[in-house]
Amino acid sequence: MPVTLNAHQFARLIDRTADHIGDATLPVLNGVRVEADAEHLYAVATDRYTLAAARYRHHGLDGEAFARTIPARALPALRRWLTDQPGSAPVTLTHADGKLRFTAEAGEMTLTTDDAQDYIGWRGLLRDILAATTDRPKGDADGDQEDLPVLDARLLTRFTTAGTYLRIRTGPGPALLVGEDFLGAQSPVRSRHEGFGAGTDDTLGGVRALWKTGLTDPDGHAAVPMPTPRHRDAPGTSAEAAEAFLRQTMVSTHDLVEEIDSPRAVAAHAAAGASAWAAYRYLDALHRADPLLAAQVIAEVADELDDGALGEFAWDAAAKAGFDPQKWQDELDRAATTAGEPAAEAPAAPETDS
């Protein structure tokens, strides 16, 4: 049955899972599985060693849930087709007679699928990993006898597309990786010969004994240098920025009522609250359309706020956008003169090559 999602999110589901596709020797795993339920569209891929499941809340499912596998050979062409669509353009996925059809306003693309084999029970696998515990032997408070899982770092690199930050939990079975709308798993290395070698103790106590002398420093150690603190407490992530904007909206709305006897304060609180709410709405829309771009913009803005030269940044941006920042400055100067206040110093105009 048809399910609709915007083009960017379709592409992102593929990007977050494609690195985990199994090779052609296992046809059932040689592709990205797409499954839709009443709320989400899922993309799943596994090569038996790693497993990735990403999801996004769709714009609507017309009918019953469905599941189909997009073959690996078709993914490059589909990825290019999705890139050619505007990121916010709705794309509808339908399936019938062994075919998947992607339809957008600018055109459509049809792929042939081979679903003769049932896909693996990925939900059950991840559910079991989520339920696993890391119980230690009795009397082993420090976990000295606990076996340390051995992970292949080459496989870990496949999770770089899952998100900037991932939570990781290791246990007796596969390692669990959790991101926003993302679950991943990686199987530990099965043989000591595949890991650090037969002569290495894989228990925590063995590692402590091996490094006891090398990590002993009788003279103490210098503190780890901390990064230079920012001049301003600027949010560094989309979640922090959203919290800051919403909090500022509420604070300004509250102070707006408290300052009813001061027209200038009322105007300032009203402007601050409106700006904070608009910033949150813009950020929320950007995060939904492109989370990676939202994270990049937040980081850049944090650096700009730390620099503090916002007037100069605004001047440059206004000139680049085709506005006249000098006209705005002249208006501010005239208003200040009329009010009997000294005119504000204009930001330095950007230098140009002669």
Query: Does the global pTM surpass 0.85?
Result: no
Distance of alpha carbon 96 from alpha carbon 112, whole angstroms: 10
Question: For all residues of the chain together, what is the average pLDDT?
Answer: 80
- At 93, is the pLDDT very low, low, confident or very high (cuts 50, 70, 90)? very high
Tokens of 30: 């040689």
- At 18, is the pLDDT very low, low, confident or very high (cuts 50, 70, 90)? very high
Distance of alpha carbon 49 from alpha carbon 186, whole angstroms: 6
- pLDDT beyond 90 at 43: yes
What tens digit of pLDDT does each residue of 52-70 get? 999 998 888 877 888 899 9
Give CA separation, 242 vs 278, 286, 287, 294, in Å.
11, 12, 10, 11
Contacts of 210 (CB under 8 A, 6+ apart): 200, 201
Helices 263-289 and 291-307 sit at what angle, rounded to 10 degrees? Answer: 140
- pLDDT beyond 70 at 194: no
- pLDDT beyond 90 at 337: no
pLDDT at res. 79: 94
What tens digit of pLDDT does each residue of 114-137 get? 666 688 899 998 888 888 765 555
pLDDT at res. 186: 93
Kindly provide the b/e burial profile for residues 175-198, where b requires at least 16 CB atoms within 10 angstroms of the residue's own CB. bbbebebbbbbbbbbeeeeebeee
Report, as an integer, the average pLDDT of 267-292: 83
- pLDDT beyond 60 at 34: yes
pLDDT at res. 354: 42
Lowest mean pLDDT among 112-126, 233-247, 253-267, 273-287: 253-267
What tens digit of pLDDT does each residue of 252-272 get? 877 666 656 677 777 787 888
Helical H segments across 172-309, by residue range: 204-211, 238-258, 263-289, 291-307
340 phi-psi bin (left φ>0, alpha ψ -120 to 50, beta other) = left
- pLDDT beyond 70 at 228: no
pLDDT at res. 109: 94
